[in-house]
Structure 1
Amino acid sequence: MEHPAIMEMTAARRSNFGDIGFWADRTALHEAASLGRALQVKQLIEGGASVNMVTVDNITPLHDACIQGHPNCVRLLLDAGAQVDVRTIHGSTPLCNACAAGSLECAKMLLEHGAKVNPSLTALTASPLHEACIKGNADIARLVIAHGALLEAFDLQFGTPLHAACAKEHVDCARVLLKAGAKVNAAKFHETALHHAARVEMVDMIDLLVDFGGNVYVTDNDNKKPIDYTKPGSPTEQCLQYYESTPLSLQQLSRVTLRTLLGTRALEVVGQLDISQRTISYILCEGC
């Protein structure tokens, strides 16, 4: 018989993750969900398999289905009562897994079943929005933002989702974030998204960030500007040299100022202004 102290520790750990299942090694249901075998998942559930069974890493069959992006299995598990916000020992929820996998259908189902788009985070835990931006899944980034994802959620490794999108060279995700009101000059240890864009030598990313007010003169903890991370004579160095020597026009500065003041409300507020559609499109950077 297991020692009472060990049993107590196990129960406490399970309680901390909010799971009602039982500790176990990987089960047949985990395996079927991971492989996308929907018929087998259905049969196992009908045979009494617990949809909330967890491995020693606190991974449920729902996590496994989302990691691999199997919507049919996700639907069966959710309909059978799978807990939607169980955290693994690394802090990932099924929604984090679906966002990383790029499964829009899985993400939608999880949100429809009440998944938290902003689960309680520590600095060591990436949010669902981070996961979407790290993997370059712009449509999913747009989806979780529409459900209230925090644009400035902070991850110790990447910083904000915008930092993550730039570090991983995903321009489409960066554009989605900026249009939604992400702070272009948010800093991680005084390092901005422009520093990341300069490091990965992406001229189109630099152009996008500057269009939204990215500061080409800001310095990081090493007192380096974005241009200091470019290769001499490279297109990115030439791009940043141009922006350092050519101030933004008054028209551009006005747009940046207005968008900065409005923040995440820009999309809603600007469309209600009594101004021309052309001006609205310019303010909202619809051509960016």
Structure 2
Amino acid sequence: MDEEGMNQNGSKSQGAGGQVPATTPSEVLMRDFVSDWSPLHDASIHGRLLALKKLINQGSDVNLVTADHVSPLHEACLGGHAACASFLLKHGAKVNGVTVDWHTPLFSACVSGSVACLNLLLQHGANLHPPCDLASPIHEAAKRGHAQCVELLISHGVNIDHNVKHLGTPLYVACENQQVDCSRKLLESGANVNSGKGLESPLHVATRSCSVELVMLLIDFGADIWAKNAEGKRPMELVPPGSPLGQLFLQKEGPLSLMQLCRLCIRRCFGHKQHQKITGLLLPEELKHFLLHV
């Protein structure tokens, strides 16, 4: 329940008896373009749908922004309140509004991990790639481990290998934050396993974090164990003493099997959206499962 049940507890924007105070003409003029914080923002961030409806019906501007250009839609998505976001969008909220930090509502939805808000925004024409790389939705979702958000963005055509200078690729960010599910989702969808941050590959950063599961996953998807970073070091040279990763790398030093080479070659040919393409092939299910790493 988004949220009507929550209205029984009242909110900052409600007066005695749960009524929303009327807005005077002077307040409307003062808050015409910019407001530090308004009852509309408060209702949106807390998911108070009834209060939001009353405020808008009384004439509040759905695109009222704070001094930092934060809109009620930003707040609704940050709180993960899909019902509030839907109501705002139906009443003309700007789906691609940008804050001073370059955050869009889509970015806010990726922060909260709200698939419902994300889906609403995409249906209303939200841009997958913001005007500035300082706030990339796919990177934020990968960083926070929101695998369903990552999957939804991929299904709508986001650049899965979008490389941001200060962040790297979404896969690198997922590995850096030890988000195994997001890393797997990106790899299954055709992300470049060796594309990271500069010369630092996802395998380098996974090794630094001593994540056996991530290292095994990356190697299984064809990560180059011989790649050197800016310091001239291979991933295996970053293994801490006594770590089980040392033995793992020793086992992987030999040549790949013919089966593995064939699988990697076929997956490279398919590029992105590999899952859908491989599933549609006229092949035995066992072979499809092998190609899909199932």
CA deviations 1:58-79 (Å, max 9, x no partner) are 1101111111111121112111
User: Identity across aligned pairs (percent)?
Assistant: 40
Which residue is 1:64 aligned to?
75
What secondary structure does 1:264 align onto?
coil
Q: Identify the match of residue 138 of structure 2 among 106, 121, 129.
A: 129
**Post-superposition shift, 1:267?**
2.9
**Map of 2:23 onto structure 1:** none
- Secondary structure (helix, strand or coil) at the match of 2:153 reads helix
Q: CA RMSD in A?
A: 1.5
**Is the counterpart of residue 242 in structure 1 residue 215 in structure 2?**
no
Aligned partner (choices 245, 262, 274) of residue 282 of structure 2 = 274
Aligned pairs (5 A) from 1:154-233: 154-233=163-242
> Partner residue of 1:98?
109
Q: Say yes or no: does 1:40 pair with 2:44.
A: no
Unpaired runs of at least 5, structure 2: 1-31
Q: Please list the CA deviations of residues 15-39 of structure 1 after superposition, one character each: whole Å capped at 9, or x if unmatched.
A: xxxxxx7122211111111122111
- The equivalent of 1:9 in structure 2 is none
Deviations 1:45-65 (A, max 9, x none): 111111111112111011111
CA distance in 1 between counterparts of 2:187 and 2:234 reads: 21
- Matched-pair contact (CA < 8 Å) for 2:113–2:146: yes
Report how many residues are paired.
263
Distance in 2 between the 1:43 and 1:143 partners? Answer: 32
Q: Tell me what 2:160 maps to.
A: 151
Aligned-partner Cα distance in 1 for 2:114–2:196:
30
Residue by residue over 1:130-159, the C-alpha shift from the partner in whole angstroms, topping out at 9 and shown as x without a partner, is: 111110000111111101111011223320
Question: Which residue of 144, 147, 151 corresponds with 1:138?
Answer: 147
Q: Is the 8 A contact 2:102 2:131 kept in 1?
A: no
- Residue 118 of structure 1 is matched in structure 2 by 129
Aligned residue type for 1:260: R
> Deviations along 1:202-249, whole A, 9 cap, x unmatched?
1111111111110011010011111222211102222223222x3321
Q: TM-score, length-normalised on structure 2?
A: 0.85
Name structure 1 gaps, 5 residues minimum: 1-20
| CA distance in structure 2 between the aligned counterparts of 1:129 and 1:210, rounded to whole angstroms | 23
Scaled by the length of structure 1, the TM-score of the pair is: 0.87
- Separation (CA, whole Å) in 2 of partners of 1:95 and 1:87: 10
Verify: 1:256 aligned to 2:260, yes or no. no
CA apart distance, 1:265:
4.8
Whether the 8 Å contact between 2:171 and 2:196 is mirrored in structure 1 is no
Alpha-carbon spacing, 1:187–1:170, altered in 2? closer, same or farther (3 Å): closer
